Amino acid sequence: MASSMFRRVCCSSAIKAINSGLNLTTVRLGTHRKFPTKKVVNPFVQRRTDFIKKLVLALVQFERVQTTLMRAKELKKYSDLLITLSQRRSPPPDLDMIQQGFILNEAEALENMITKRIINRRSKKVIIQPKELSEEEFVARCREEASNILMGNKDALVKLYGPLKERYEDRYGGFTRIIKILSPTKSPYPQMAYVELIDNDLEPLPDFPVIKEGKITVYGSNSESDSESSEVIAVGH
């Protein structure tokens, strides 16, 4: 009963629209089959630039860098990998994910291992596994990739394989840390952050404001006497 009433209303509305002179467009109700398509990459846009390498080079030289939060997360990934390359002695499977100093994703690494071969008079794609490296070849490859990340800077490479390698000899992972700089909400500018190496000899950063109950609380120091006379600033909305 309800369906018949709905059909009558639809038919009456369509007749009124035709009589009023409106242009009606037909809509196909059938679903179309979705074929898997390959992602199109613009050949005129450079996906990776040397900017991240310059940040890594500055971090190795000065051991503390200020940049945006998104860049800081990427910089931490590259800096941890750089120090790991100087410490590794056994061949791990992660060297195939690096190319010319850039970290590849899984699709790009797989594409590098795929080659075309003629099998049964047909061209087919075959995945070729990388060959196993000896210990000497692996150490040389690690040094080469570290040099690519540091853009061939000899002073930074000497510091990497000298003081930094000795400093993090007993540490596995977590060589850098990110310190966020508080920014007001709805700010048109990106959030900034500090990236620094662990156990550096630099002066410690001052205490940054902390949001508590919707307000920014600025602390002068960590002492209890100064915490009582802390200044409270409302967050700008």
pLDDT the model gives residue 226 = 41
Mean pLDDT of 131-135: 83
Dihedral sign (CA 202, 207, 208, 211):
positive
Q: Could you tell me which residue, 119 or 32, shows the higher pLDDT? A: 119
- Please write the tens of the pLDDT for every residue from 8-43: 545 555 545 545 554 545 445 455 556 666 667 777
Report d(CA 109, CA 86) in Å as an integer: 22
pLDDT the model gives residue 211 = 67
pLDDT the model gives residue 219 = 56
pLDDT confidence bin for 5, thresholds 50/70/90: very low
For the domain made up of 48-200, give the CATH fold. 50s Ribosomal Protein L17; Chain: A, (3.90.1030)
Q: Could you tell me which residue, 45 or 104, shows the higher pLDDT? A: 104
Mean pLDDT of 127-156: 88
What are the residue boundaries of the structural domains of the chain, listed by start?
48-200
pLDDT confidence bin for 229, thresholds 50/70/90: very low
Report d(CA 150, CA 102) in Å as an integer: 11
Q: Could you tell me which residue, 236 or 21, shows the higher pLDDT? A: 21
Q: Could you tell me which residue, 182 or 1, shows the higher pLDDT? A: 182
pLDDT the model gives residue 32 = 55
The overall average pLDDT reported for the chain is 76
pLDDT the model gives residue 181 = 85
pLDDT confidence bin for 113, thresholds 50/70/90: confident
Long-range contacts of 40-46 (CB under 8 A, 24+ apart): none
Q: Which of 158-162, 218-222, 233-237 has the lowest mean pLDDT?
A: 233-237
pLDDT the model gives residue 109 = 82
pLDDT the model gives residue 133 = 82
Which tokens belong to 46? 């450079």
- Please write the tens of the pLDDT for every residue from 52-108: 999 999 999 999 999 999 999 999 999 999 999 998 766 565 788 888 889 888 888
